[in-house]
Amino acid sequence: IYPHILREITHFFSIYKDLEGKRVETKGWQDASAARALIAESQKAFMEQPKRAAGKTS
């Protein structure tokens, strides 16, 4: 990805909640293997959550 595109994406994520009065912190970019590790970690955390009854939102 071109560096300019990465800067545009970073800029978008740093300001997209401004109108809601919320702050967002961007922490930079990592490679595909870091993304895969984060996805695997997130899937594991999700699977370890207690099961909820179907249709129950809280």
Q: What is the model's pLDDT at position 56? A: 66
Largest CA distance in the chain: 46
Q: What is the model's pLDDT at position 1? A: 87
CB atoms within 10 A of CB 14: 13
The one-digit pLDDT tens for each residue of the chain (58 residues) are 899 999 999 999 999 999 999 999 999 999 999 999 999 999 999 999 988 766 666 6
Compute the CA torsion angle 39, 57, 20, 41 (nearest 10 deg): -10
Q: What is the model's pLDDT at position 46? A: 94
Q: What is the model's pLDDT at position 50? A: 87
Cα angle, residue 20 at apex, residues 11 and 58 outer, rounded to 5°: 110
Residue with tokens 């919320």: 22
